[in-house]
Amino acid sequence: MIDIKIIRENKDIVKENIKRKFQDHKLPLVDEIYDLDLEFREVKQKGDNLRAMKNEKSSHIGLLMREGKKDEAEVIKKEIAEANDEINELSLKEEQLESTIKEKMMMIPNIIDPSVPIGEDDTKNVENEKFGEPVVPNFEVPHHADICARLNGLDKESAGRTSGNGFYYLMGDVARLHSAMLSYARDFMIDKGFTYCVPPFMIRSDVVSGVMSFEEMGDMMYKIEGEDLYLIGTSEHSMIGKFKDQILKKEELPITMTSYSPCFRKEVGSHGIEERGLYRVHQFEKQEMIVICDKEEGMDYYTKMWQFTVELFRNLNIPVRTLECCSGDLADLKVKSCDVEAWSPRQQKYFEVGSCSILGDAQARRLGIRVKGENGTEYVTTLNNTVLATPRGLIAFLENNVNEDGSVNIPEVLRPYMGGKEKLVPKN
C-alpha cells in the first residue's frame, strides 16, 4: 500500500505506474481515492472543529452555574448535546470513508523501481547474469521422478490415496537428501549472520492481507474452516507478521532472519498440478530469509540476498541464472524482484527455484511496522528471498548431480548431513 500523500500531491505518478504495470482497469481508482480523501478530510476537520467548540463551551458551564446563571448554562448544555449528535454522525461517516479508502488503496500497486524492465508478463523478464556452466552430459538425464524411483525414494501413488493429487512421500536416501539440503541452507544462512527462526505455520487474515495482495490470496492460501486462520504459503508471511503493530528502535535495525517452514499452496491457475513429478505441488518445504531495514539500506540488502542464493546453489554444483522480473510480472506490493533459476540438463533450459523481492514500505504500512528515529516514526522497508525451496531445489540437485549409472554424487557441503556419504547408489 502506497502513501496516500502521493495521490494527494501527484496523481499522475500513480496513474503512470499503473499503466507501466498494464493494469489500466485500476486507473479510475486513483480519482475515486482522491475524491474520497478530500471528503474524508473535510468531515474530519468539521468533526475536530465541533469537538474543540464542545470542549470550550463545556468549560464555561461550571462557571455559569457558580454565578447562578442556570438558564444560560442550560442553553449551552443543549448546544453541546446537539454538537454531540453531529459529532457522532461525523465520526461514523469518517470511519466509513476511512475504511473505503483503505480498501481501495490496497488495490493500488506499489511504485516500481525505475530499473524494472517494462513488460506485460513473465515472457518479458530479462536475464541478468549466469553463474556456472550449463552442462548437458553425454547421456540422457532421466526425469527426476525416475531418478527417485531408482533410489526407492518417491511414492506419489500412496500420497494420492491419503491426500490427493499434488502430494507425495519422500523416502530413504531421497528423503534424507531433501532434509540435508534444508539443513545446509539453514546453517549457510546462520553463517551469514542471520538469526534462525521456526515461525507459526498458520496466520490470521489481518496478517495475510498485510503481506500480500488480494489477487494472490485467493489463488494461494488454504483457509482453515471455521477459524480465522490460513496455512502459510511461505514463512515470509508469518516472519513479517511477527512485527505487526510494532515500533522498533533505530538501533535494532537491520533485522536479518532466516526461517524454516512447510508451505501450502492451492496452485490455482492454468499451469495446474504436475501429475508425475514434484515440480508443482500443494506442499513443500523452504528456508527463507527476510530483512527489515531503513529505506536507505534496502537496495544493498536486495543485492546481497539474491547473491546468497546463487552462492548456495553453486555450492551444490547447480548452475543458475538471475532473471529480472518485468513490471507486469511483479506482484502489486513489490518494488523490484528477481528470480533465481536453476539449469535443467534434462530439459536444457532454466527453471525457477527462488525469488528475491524488495517491497519498500508496502507491507510495513499495511501491518503498522515502524521505526522510531530522531525525526519521529517512519515505516520500515521489508525484503524477502528464497534460500532454498524443495522439492524444486531437489529436482535441480538430482538432475545436475546424477551419473549415467543412476547414482547421485553428494557434494562435500552436504556430506556431514548425509552420514558422510559421497554417492547415492540405485537400489533398482
Q: Identify whether the C-beta of residue 188 lies closer than 8 Å to the C-beta of residue 289.
A: no
**pLDDT of 244-266, one tens digit each?**
999 999 999 999 999 999 999 98
* pTM greater than the 0.75 cutoff: yes
Average confidence (pLDDT) over 68-74: 71
Residue 68 has pLDDT above 90, yes or no: no
Q: For the chain, what percent of residues have pLDDT higher than 70?
A: 94
* Greater pLDDT, 258 or 73: 258
HEC string for the chain: CCCHHHHHHCHHHHHHHHHHCCCHHHHHHHHHHHHHHHHHHHHHHHHHHHHHHHHHHHHHHHHHHHCCCHHHHHHHHHHHHHHHHHHHHHHHHHHHHHHHHHHHHCCCCCCCCCCCCCCCCHHHCEEEEEECCCCCCCCCCCCHHHHHHHCCCEEHHHHHHHCCCCCCEECHHHHHHHHHHHHHHHHHHHHCCCEEECCCCEECHHHHHHHCCHHHHHHHCEECCCCCCEECCCHHHHHHHCCCCCEEEHHHCCEEEEEEEEEECCCCCCCCCCCCCCCCCCEEEEEEEEEEECHHHHHHHHHHHHHHHHHHHHHCCCCEEEEECCHHHCCCCCCEEEEEEEEECCCCEEEEEEEEEECCCHHHHHHCCEEEECCEEEECEEEEEEEEEECHHHHHHHHHHECCCCCEECCHHHHHHHCCCCEECCCC
With 60 as the cut, is the pLDDT of residue 364 above it?
Answer: yes
Confidence of residue 76 (pLDDT cuts 50, 70, 90): confident
- Give the pLDDT of residue 268: 62
Q: Which domains are assigned to the chain?
A: 4-105 (1.10.287.40), 122-424 (3.30.930.10)
pLDDT band at 270 (very low <50, low <70, confident <90, very high): very low
pLDDT recorded at residue 167: 93
pLDDT in tens, 293-333: 999 999 999 999 999 999 999 999 999 999 999 999 999 99
pLDDT at 156: 93
Contact 57, 135 (CB under 8 A): no
Mean pLDDT of 386-413: 97
Closest by CA position to 209, among listed 218, 197, 196, 198: 218
What whole-number distance in Å separates Cα of residue 200 and Cα of residue 425? 37
Return the residue matching grid coordinates 471455521.
Answer: 226
Q: What is the pLDDT of residues 135-193, one digit of tens each?
A: 999 999 999 999 999 999 999 999 999 999 999 999 999 999 999 999 999 999 999 99
